[in-house]
Amino acid sequence: MIAFLSLLARNRLALAGGIVLSAVVLLALVTPLLPLADPDVTNTSNRFVPPFSEGALLGTDHLGRDLLSRLLWGTRLSLAVGFAAAIVAATIGAAIGIIAGYYGGRTDNVIMRGVDMLMAFPYILLALAIVAALGPGLFNALIAVAAVNVPFFARNIRGITVGIAHKEFVDAARLAGLSNTRIILSEILPNVIPVIVIAMSTTIGWMILETAGLSFLGLGSQPPQADLGSMLGEARSALITNPHTSVVPGIMILVIVMSINLLGDGVRDALDPRLKSGALSRPMAATQVKRAGPVPAPTGKGLLEVQALETQFHVKDRIYRAVGGVDLHVEKGECLGIIGESGSGKSVTALSIMGLVSSPPGVITGGAAHYDGEDLIGAPYRRLRDMRGRNVSYIFQDPLATLHPLYRVGDQLIEAIRAHRPIGKEAGRAKAVELLDAVRIPNAAKRITDYPHEMSGGMRQRVGIAMALANDPDIIIADEPTTALDVTVQAQVLTILDDLRRSRGLAIIFITHDFGVVAQLCDRVAVMYAGRIVEEGRTTDILDTPRHPYTARLMACVPELGGGKRRLEAIAGLPPVVDRLPQGCAFADRCLKVQDDCRQGDIPLVRSGARAVRCLYPEEKAREAAE
């Protein structure tokens, strides 16, 4: 709530709207306590007294009634009716929308066609018809205004509900045996309330205007009772001779509606969760680079050499150090594994290389990534765009999310090729078939006309790989590409990657949290924890003799087939939050062998030969002993 208010207050216009509206509401609330003249007492000898006169600050109207008093009482009434109409319309409309959206099918059809019929009438005509049927009066005007706004809420909320009603968490609630009412109240409603609030905040102003309109026509508040609309209506005949009688209520209506609209826009922006971390700006084309220190010179190691890479997320005044100085390199034809718990910074490391971390909030604050002698960090966007997919390409975890649902997979493959070189229709088709063949999709010529939803998860991931291969890259960065697949399909996908690496000399950076996959595919492996590499070495060495306690514990978590039943050693505790990294070793709090000096100063990554470990007291013995 505090966060919401502070976000709202950052929007100057919304803040101004909020302050003005609060002042008006406050005035309306205290009106009965103020020493005002009776708003309804006429005094015809005192007609049309101009503003700022003795005893009548805003003057009097055609019956000699005090305008200030009528204005405040009228504002009170107009606000009350406007808010009441908004709440009634929102409640009824949302209920209708939720029921139609949740139950769907015939219920939805019947309800929504009814709503459509209401919407087919011109708005104000419908309101007039309702008042005509019910008879004039403020309460009936309220009913009319609420009624004509119900369809707006019903349509809006139904759309949102349909989207939510098919989400997995609703299915889960159903499987848990919750009744429909419970599901609507506990699963659906909390998700649509922000939308209701937004719709309300942007329509209250409109409803106050409509109520004023009905009163202006004499169908709302009845004399002598004042509301802003009826004050305007009565002043109409004196518009030219005594304009102050119209100007006073007119300005009040303007002030109220403006402030509500400004505040409403602010509320809408502040409630949108997407705007919370990324501020209001559009993401930049490439990650922002603000390197403080010197740029490391390339040492010529490997095809891609990442040095001292630091990537942070700057969210308001917090700094999340997602990647805190990572060194990596990968040779042609080599597979480097990056392993670590979720949240350890693997993806951010990989995305930083090609400037794909979204900015804001992402900022690369240090280091270099030399590809063939060229520093990719800070390379101009045009250069990066040219190299993305052509020199370095990515495979992501969820192929359903990366493939466009509305295009055939063949067309998507051709599009990936076209991004880098022009290719004719026939040649494109042939190339797409060839790519699908390369990732062993059976019957590729027929499969290229499939949509992503017509394929199984394993098939889709193969298409993902084919797409990454489309422009014959030198390096493929695979970010947990098999996590969503079952083990047989995973084995097939890994075999495909391994073959491609051997036949095409691809360098692969393979991100995973699974030691089994590392053992199967990777030549070398780097273990990441809290944004830094804690151990690195040849896969066989690390699997035989893990030296960092974290690696050892991570491996002890892997069940072994045929290893008999044993207790799986889960690692107690959670990784540190990266905006409050502890002094010294980030793993200290979860380490069984922690000593006092582990918590002091920076622990360096000590290299000896191909091995490197960031630990003051590394494991000495073989893995069996560590268990």
Least distance (Å) between residue 434 CB and Mg ion: 31
Nearest residue to 392 via CA among 328, 332, 342? 332
- Interaction between residue 512 and ligand ADP (CB under 6 A): no
Distance CA 267, CA 261 (A): 10
DSSP letter at 124 equals H
Contact partner at residue 359 from Mg ion, ligand ADP, none, CB < 5 to 8 Å by partner kind: none
Cis bond upstream, residue 224 (ω within 30): yes
Q: Which residues contact 353 (CB under 8 A, 6 or more apart)?
A: 304, 306, 309, 369, 376, 377, 392, 477
**Spatial distance between the Cα atoms of 301 and 317, rounded to a whole number of angstroms:** 38
Does an H or E element contain 70, and which?
A: helix 67-103
Q: How far is the CB of 30 from ligand ADP (least distance, A)?
A: 45
Residue 246 or 347: which CB sits closer to Mg ion? 347
Chosen residue from 64, 104, 325, 343 binding ligand ADP by CB under 6 A: 343
Q: Which two tokens stand for residue 40?
A: 């309804």
What's the closest the beta carbon of residue 513 comes to ligand ADP, in angstroms?
8
Residue 345 interacts with which of Mg ion, ligand ADP, none, CB < 5 to 8 Å by class: ligand ADP
What's the min distance (Å) between Cβ of 72 and Mg ion? Answer: 59
- Of 286, 287, 267, residue with least CA distance to 275: 267
Under rule CB under 6 A, residue 346 binds ligand ADP:
yes
Contacting Mg ion (CB under 5 A), which of 221, 261, 347, 539?
A: 347
Distance CA 447, CA 433 (A): 8
Residue 315 interacts with, from Mg ion, ligand ADP, none (CB under 5-8 Å by kind): ligand ADP
Binding of ligand ADP by 582 (CB under 6 A): no
We find the least distance from the C-beta atom of residue 303 to ligand ADP, in angstroms, to be: 23
Site for ligand ADP in 292-331 (CB under 6 A): 313, 315, 320, 322
Say how far apart CA 391 and CA 372 lie, in whole Å: 10
What's at 19, amino acid-wise?
Answer: I
* CA quadruple 345, 350, 351, 355: dihedral, nearest 10: 120
Question: Is 277 one of the binding residues for ligand ADP (CB under 6 A)?
Answer: yes
3-class DSSP assignment, residue 114: helix
| Binding piece for ligand ADP, criterion CB under 6 A, among 50-58, 91-99, 222-230, 342-350 | 342-350
Binding segment (CB under 5 A) for Mg ion, from list 343-351, 386-394, 453-461, 484-492: 343-351
- In this chain, which of 101, 298, 337, 345 binds ligand ADP, going by CB under 6 A? 345
Could you give the maximum distance between any two Cα atoms of the chain, in Å?
107
- Quick check: 578 and 345 in contact, CB under 8 A? yes
Closest distance to ligand ADP from the beta carbon of 548 (Å) = 17
The secondary structure of 171-204 as a DSSP string is HHHHHTT--HHHHIIIIIHHHHHHHHHHHHHHHH
355 binds ligand ADP (CB under 6 A): no
CB of 147 to ligand ADP, least distance (A): 44
In the bound state with ligand ADP, the residue whose beta carbon lies nearer, of 320 and 394, is 320
Task: Please tell me whether the peptide bond between 32 and the residue prior to it is cis, using omega within 30 degrees of 0.
Answer: no
Which segment (297-305, 324-332, 339-347, 407-415) binds Mg ion by CB under 5 A?
339-347
Among 578, 588, 591, 598, binds ligand ADP (CB under 6 A): 578
Q: Which residues bind ligand ADP (CB under 6 A)?
A: 277, 313, 315, 320, 322, 340, 342-348, 361, 578
Q: Which residues bind Mg ion (CB under 5 A)?
A: 347
